[in-house]
Structure 1
Amino acid sequence: MKRAALILALGLSLGSGTFAQTFEDYFVDKTLRLDYIFMGNADKQDICLDELSVLPQWAGRRHHLSELPLEGNGEITMKDKATGKVIYRTSFSSLFQEWIGEQEAKVVKRGFENTFLVPYPKQPAEITVVLRNASREVSATLVHEVNPSDILIHQRGEGDLTPHRYLWQGGSSDKCIDVAIMAEGYAANESDLFYKDAAVACEALFAHEPFKKLKDRFNIVAVFSESKDSGVSIPRKDEWKKTAVSSHFDTFYSDRYLTTRSVKAIHNWLAGIPYEHIIILANTDTYGGGGIYNSYTLTTAHHSMFRPVVVHEFGHSFGGLADEYAYDEAPSPLYPYDIEPWEPNITTLVHFEDKWKDMLEQGTPVPTKPQADEKLIYTKVGVYEGAGYTKKGIYRPTTECRMRINEAPVFCPVCQRSLERTIRFYTE
């Protein structure tokens, strides 16, 4: 149940190359789908271009095109080949980069699918993909060109679309954030069950601020990606199912970590349907889930904690929020003590001024001891030790939050501010 990203002030870009532009200057109303393989081990990582595809519509942002709202673990930059101007940027995290911190990565070389969506350029463009390690140093780079007239760019999404229905429409795709809720482990006769579960996920999301007050900036579509089997794979029980995106528990041998490496399959199911962010519902009552920034949320639909967990995981995949819980005395390989994490809701205090220092009441001690008054438990902003899987040396904004425990009724004020900034970046 992982990952996240650092929120930046709105209107600011990372690095040089920002200039005034309109969407129509460099792009047509189509999507360029980029499929890559991230590969390697703990010592060396690499990026391989797998396939390029074109989708019939662009559902992403049409402004702030050369800016980043979140830093992420990696970045894609598109430049106009003729002028060298940066015309689009996006950021992400990946399951591969999490795996690099696992023991297996020290002895085995593996490859992971990754897919990203960018607007379709009018003219030849140069694309640069960068991966960064836990110290935020560049660990792998790929530069390649895209010629929009290339006959080998795969055309997708023009024929029969996966069955779908809209659960909420705040407006047109060019003005709203399009979220697709997908089925995983729902057999042919379970479509009604899926649409019911998707409606619950939608309701749970809009019960939380800031999604509630900014509901009209979203479109939610439920997509029935049919599976051959009902249920999902649980390797520790020797249960393997044939499902739409081949998800399974026990990722990195963690019982509750539910993910999929079949990322291309996710996007193939969605081809032709406007989408930017993805929630995958697993047809099981086994507890678990996972959320990867700008990749996907995957969570179980029939556990009693379904509602809080789907919102928590969407906090990762959409909002770039870190886990605020802690279970280990040693520092996580993802968060060195001498590096300020790029997640907006945790800090090592190395550069706390870049986080929520401005939200502290005057006189608040840093670090802050937990409040005895439970009335303030979710709203009193301080600097509380224990976050990012580590009990010592990493700090969170409040004693409890949706990103820390399932019982928390809300996102803390710091997470709410970060989420609202992200929503406004995409829609204003």
Structure 2
Amino acid sequence: MNRLLCTIAMAALMCANATAQQFDKFFADSTLRLDYIFAGDTSRQAIYVDGQCLIPRWDGRRQRLDELPVAGNGQITVKDKGSGQVIYRHSFSTLFQEWLATAEAKHTSKSFENVFLVPYPRQAVDITVELRDYHNRITASLTHTVEPADILIRRIGFEHVTPYQTIQKAADTTRCIHIAYVAEGYRSDEMEAFLNDAKDATEALFAHEPFKQLRSRFNIVAVMSPSADSGTSEPANGIWKTTALSSHFDTFYSDRYLTTLNIKDLHDKLAGTPYEHIIILVNTAKYGGGGIYNSYNLSYTRGNQFKPVVVHEFGHSFGGLGDEYEYGNDDPMYFPDTEPWEPNLTTKHNFKGKWENLIKQGKASLIEGGGYQKQGVFRGVEKCRMRTNDVPDFCAVCQQALTRMIDFYTK
């Protein structure tokens, strides 16, 4: 038995060394921040390079670099220019793509900021950004070359770093998931309240499985970005505040949809802090929030639904989970000819690899209704945190998807 354990340990060590060598071959321990503008309307979309930044330290994964955890609504691919080898991939969703489903996008063109982080390349790379529609068809694509020695790549985060406090330190900070809370609508004299809110949000998140049992894999900081005004803007009420991230309600004219469109400002505030996944806490008593996969999770804090909301939105922003409630079948986002990329929803078009194992174990089934639609979209369990804030737990399907995501980043 001892000989077997030694063999397993040696194999694991060799695998870890190979992973480290692969990362070190292509990347330095720094971050390349890529700023883009996504623009257009329902008939045509385009992607434009808006800037590039060098940030000290890389806080993302160093293994499974050419894999995707889920497909997302868009993907970014980094190729070594010399060999053409894919050396890093990541997936995402954006507010721009959500906006394309609105009535406004049918007659008006708009632009949206987007920021992506990739490890800093040692040699020239070709970077491709792709946007996809609800049928998983590519609607816009851009490929551009980045030369790591380019003198116009801005250096940020080396000084004038926003003050931050560590809320929780991971057992291994080189192989963990970095989360940063960001203060929005908190004045300098309200930072103690922000830190308490960040601690409350942390305890709320880790009261849920699978986060509870895997807590040691998360490193969490609270970034104290001060605002001139307390609170956030409420356009429907004629209230406009001067805040760190210019967040506001009424996104896409939806009363409770609380977001920020100032993505570059957000990442400027985070430069030099240890971060990858972002939770923005907004100092307001008005109910609202939003979560965008691999972009950010944003939540109000001054109400009794704060904790359920921040956990639900983290399911979106970190886990890529879809909403499991339904409104009707107007303006559908899911179609019979396309399998949702979200791991907790299915149209039965290509169900393989989702939760068949849980059905066999009697822990889940296929229940119609989800993804805002009453028909044609199925979830696994009747009640779940991704369906309603009144349910205290993630269902078995969502827990399995979240565990897979955590393992993707840390194993």
Whether the TM-score (by the shorter chain) exceeds 0.5 is: yes
Q: Deviations over 1:258-282 (max 9, x none)?
A: 1111000100000001111000000
CA distance in 1: counterparts of 2:303 and 2:335, whole angstroms: 34
DSSP 3-state at the match of 2:196: helix
CA contact (8 A) 1:173 1:274 kept: no
- Kindly state the Cα deviation for residue 160 of structure 1 after the two structures are TM-superposed: 2.1
CA contact (8 A) 2:55 2:155 kept: yes
- Kindly state the Cα deviation for residue 333 of structure 1 after the two structures are TM-superposed: 3.4
CA distance in 1: counterparts of 2:30 and 2:344, whole angstroms: 34
Within the alignment, does 1:425 sit opposite 2:411 as a pair?
Answer: no
Q: Deviations over 1:217-276 (max 9, x none)?
A: 000100111111000011111111111111111111111111111000100000001111
Q: Deviations over 1:315-342 (max 9, x none)?
A: 0000000000111243x43212332111
Within the alignment, does 1:187 sit opposite 2:197 as a pair?
Answer: no
CA distance in 1: counterparts of 2:66 and 2:410, whole angstroms: 15
Within the alignment, does 1:412 sit opposite 2:395 as a pair?
Answer: yes
- Kindly state the Cα deviation for residue 409 of structure 1 after the two structures are TM-superposed: 1.0
CA contact (8 A) 2:184 2:245 kept: yes
Amino acid paired to 1:414: V
Amino acid paired to 1:230: S
CA distance in 1: counterparts of 2:376 and 2:90, whole angstroms: 30
Counterparts in 2 of 1:154 and 1:357: CA distance versus 1, 3 Å? same
Counterparts in 2 of 1:53 and 1:275: CA distance versus 1, 3 Å? same
- Structure 2 match to 1:339: 338
Q: Deviations over 1:186-232 (max 9, x none)?
A: 01110101001010011111111111111110001001111110000
- Kindly state the Cα deviation for residue 356 of structure 1 after the two structures are TM-superposed: 1.4
CA distance in 2: counterparts of 1:51 and 1:294, whole angstroms: 19
CA distance in 2: counterparts of 1:337 and 1:282, whole angstroms: 38
- Kindly state the Cα deviation for residue 21 of structure 1 after the two structures are TM-superposed: 6.0
CA contact (8 A) 1:287 1:303 kept: yes
- Kindly state the Cα deviation for residue 361 of structure 1 after the two structures are TM-superposed: 3.7
Q: Structure 1: 5+ residue runs without aligned partners?
A: 1-18, 365-379
Amino acid paired to 1:313: E
CA contact (8 A) 1:384 1:399 kept: yes
- Structure 1 match to 2:289: 289
Q: What does 1:3-402 correspond to in 2, within 5 Å?
A: 22-330=22-330, 332-361=331-360, 380-402=363-385
Q: Deviations over 1:80-129 (max 9, x none)?
A: 11111111111100000011111000000100000010000000111000
Q: TM-score, normalised by structure 1?
A: 0.90
Amino acid paired to 1:339: T
- Structure 1 match to 2:8: none
Amino acid paired to 1:77: T
- Kindly state the Cα deviation for residue 172 of structure 1 after the two structures are TM-superposed: 4.4
CA contact (8 A) 1:134 1:333 kept: no
CA distance in 2: counterparts of 1:195 and 1:122, whole angstroms: 38
CA distance in 2: counterparts of 1:172 and 1:121, whole angstroms: 24
- Structure 2 match to 1:403: 386
CA contact (8 A) 1:59 1:276 kept: yes
Q: Deviations over 1:372-426 (max 9, x none)?
A: xxxxxxxx41111110011112111111101000011110011001101110111
- Kindly state the Cα deviation for residue 20 of structure 1 after the two structures are TM-superposed: 10
CA contact (8 A) 2:20 2:62 kept: no
Moved over 6 A (4+): none
Same amino acid, percent of matched pairs: 55
CA distance in 1: counterparts of 2:350 and 2:117, whole angstroms: 32
Higher helix share goes to which structure?
2
Amino acid paired to 2:128: T
